[in-house]
Amino acid sequence: QKEVEQDPGPLSVPEGAIVSLNCTYSNSAFQYFMWYRQYSRKGPELLMYTYSSGNKEDGRFTAQVDKSSKYISLFIRDSQPSDSATYLCAMSATQAGTALIFGKGTTLSVSS
Amino acid sequence: GAVVSQHPSWVICKSGTSVKIECRSLDFQATTMFWYRQFPKQSLMLMATSNEGSKATYEQGVEKDKFLINHASLTLSTLTVTSAHPEDSSFYICSATPGRGGNEQFFGPGTRLTVL
């Protein structure tokens, strides 16, 4: 079993839809959880950063962490064509200086 | 804030030559920088972790004599691909962490290397 599992998609939705992206993980020591957005041929951009369980909201984006289920989610409300990108979940067990474990990424396409 | 730059953004070189890629944290000091490689439509593959003033730690399977990493200051790390071959063609991305307690990593825009 891989440490982090993420459905690669592709996921296609119409503009305005609510998008749900998910990752599961096996290492119960993970405490830091991140979501990155990567446009084609660009470096990943940090969208959300969460420590431990709970929800975090930033504009149209909401990140949820359920450590008991080893499951994290990213919700995108009122999706826009500009949200079309690959979304990567990432996590780590310890603080700064340690490498992140990435999911494979989910490719999202939002049509207008 | 938290901007990371990379230079060059793309490079084409002949087989057998060496290529240096720079990664700079522009508005913060990076105690740790990471180098990744990414193939088309695949996720990031960690190559090495570098801490300022220390030798880099390479992931299993990454040749440290081929991919030379230098982290000379808190804002600059370099990756040199020595004696490049066509199979080294890839997208190389660096990231940096401010090390202020959290573990966010901020990524550079990437460097596309093509070896002819």
Residue B45 and residue A102 in contact, taking contact as beta carbons nearer than 8 Å: no
pLDDT value of position B62: 94
pLDDT tens for chain B, residues 1 to 116? 689 999 999 999 999 999 999 999 999 898 889 999 998 888 889 999 998 888 899 999 999 999 999 988 899 999 999 999 999 999 999 999 886 656 788 999 999 999 99
pLDDT value of position B105: 87
Whether residues A95 and B104 touch (CB distance < 8 A) is answered with no
- Cα distances from A33 to residues A103, B105, B106, B112, in angstroms, run 11, 11, 14, 28
How far apart, in whole angstroms, are the C-alpha atoms of residue B54 and residue A47? Answer: 30
**Confidence class for position A95, pLDDT limits 50, 70, 90:** low
Measured between CA atoms, the residue of chain A closest to residue B42 is: A104
pLDDT value of position B83: 96
CA dihedral in degrees (A14, A18, A24, A27; nearest 10)?
Answer: 130
CA-based max dimension of chain B: 43
Measured between CA atoms, the residue of chain A closest to residue B6 is: A43
pLDDT value of position B52: 83
Cross-strand pairs, A25 = A4
User: In the predicted model, what is the mean pLDDT of chain A?
Assistant: 92
Residue B11 and residue B31 in contact, taking contact as beta carbons nearer than 8 Å: no
How far apart, in whole angstroms, are the C-alpha atoms of residue B17 and residue B83? Answer: 5
Residues 56-75 of A with CB under 8 A from B: none
For chain B, say whether A28 makes contact (Cβ under 8 Å). Answer: no
Q: What percent of chain A has pLDDT over 70?
A: 96
pLDDT value of position A30: 92
**Range of weakest confidence among A40-44, A81-85, A107-111:** A40-44
For chain A, say whether B110 makes contact (Cβ under 8 Å). Answer: yes
pLDDT value of position B36: 95
Whether residues A97 and B99 touch (CB distance < 8 A) is answered with yes
Tens digits of residue pLDDT in A40-78 = 889 999 999 998 888 999 999 999 999 999 999 999 999
Measured between CA atoms, the residue of chain A closest to residue B110 is: A43
pLDDT value of position B95: 94
Which of left, alpha, beta for B61 (phi over 0: left; psi -120 to 50: alpha)?
A: left
CA angle, residues B1, B43, A21, in degrees to nearest 5:
75
For chain A, say whether B4 makes contact (Cβ under 8 Å). Answer: yes
